[in-house]
Amino acid sequence: MQRGPSLLFKKGSIGLLITGTLLLNSCDLIQRKKETDSGTERPAVARVDETYLYKDELTGIVPPGTPKEDSVSRAEAYVNSWIRKQLLIRQAGRQIDINKAEVERKLLDYRYSLIAYEYQTYYIKQNLDTVVAQADIEQYYKEHLDNFVLKQNIVRATFLKVPQSAPRTKKIKDLIFSTREKDRDELKSYCLSFAAAYHLSDSSWMQFDELVKASPLVELPDKVQFLKRNPYYETSDEAFLYFLKVDEYKISDNISPLEFVRDDIANIILNKRKVELAKRLDDEVFSKAQENNEFEIFNK
């Protein structure tokens, strides 16, 4: 008979590692009949009372090509997870009356759901159109404006955080306001060389609090009034100089600009397509089976 798991694995050294596949295996293990023949040819790796976990039942837990150290760690994690589940099941049987038929039905439902989900995922991956046209994004935006109310202030702005010891700091404001390509390149080069943090204005929107984090500006008591009154602002602390030029701003509780939520809308549209594909797959499978008389419902 195999010795207890304490001889195989160090106590307390293993964390839980459970994936959908392992859950399926766990479900099967819950229903496993007790093994009373200690002379079985199947080598066991763990035991709880008279219930055994056999070595061949670990097949597939570790993906091919996994480094040896990771393979051992995953196998140990699975074994320890199995032991904990068996102990919990044993304790549950002692404390409460368990409807085994109901448990088995739920396990089967869960197993079938996982199998269906795997196929559904494969089908969607094969058939999903991942290209979201700009026209589709704009249409969705117009039809769902109430869903895009800002929860924070956002800006299109330039922000620099520069050490007090940095050179030529008096020239920074002129470079920020300049529209010449040469000056914009010089500002970018300056930021790369000396700035502790920076963001140069472009077409993108970002949260104001995110832009000015780790600066005195984040502590402003009334950011709305600040944005309305300060298209340009400079401040400092003991270590840094801070430069802010706001080209455009939107206040919270107003409708978000399309550019700020473009990616969110694209993801929404893709998710809707996935739902539609899942529904189409379900309908196609059912209709085909119905046409071919592959199932039958018996009336009592």
Which pLDDT band, with edges at 50, 70 and 90, does 42 fall under?
Answer: confident
- Mean pLDDT, to the nearest integer, of 213-222? 93
215 vs 292: CA distance, rounded Å: 69
Domain-located, residue 83: yes
Domain-located, residue 274: no
Same domain flag for 14 and 90: yes
Domain-located, residue 271: no
pLDDT of 292 reads 93
Instruction: Among 82-96, 148-162, 285-299, name the most confident range.
Output: 148-162
Q: What is the CATH number of the domain that holds 246?
A: 3.10.50
Q: What's the number of domains the chain is made of?
A: 2
Check whether 36 has a pLDDT greater than 60: no
Domain-located, residue 37: yes
- Name the domain boundary from 52, 69, 96: 96
**Sign of torsion, CA 6 12 13 14?**
positive
Average pLDDT, the chain: 86
Residue % of the chain over a pLDDT of 70 = 86
SS3 for 236-278 is ECCCEEEEEEEEEEECCCCECCHHHHHHHHHHHHHHHHHHHHH
Instruction: Find the domain containing 69 and state its range.
Output: 5-96
Check whether 78 has a pLDDT greater than 80: yes
Check whether 22 has a pLDDT greater than 70: no
Which pLDDT band, with edges at 50, 70 and 90, does 63 fall under?
Answer: confident
Check whether 174 has a pLDDT greater than 60: yes
Same domain flag for 179 and 246: yes
Which pLDDT band, with edges at 50, 70 and 90, does 300 fall under?
Answer: low
Domain-located, residue 36: yes
Check whether 299 has a pLDDT greater than 90: no
- Mean pLDDT, to the nearest integer, of 245-259? 96
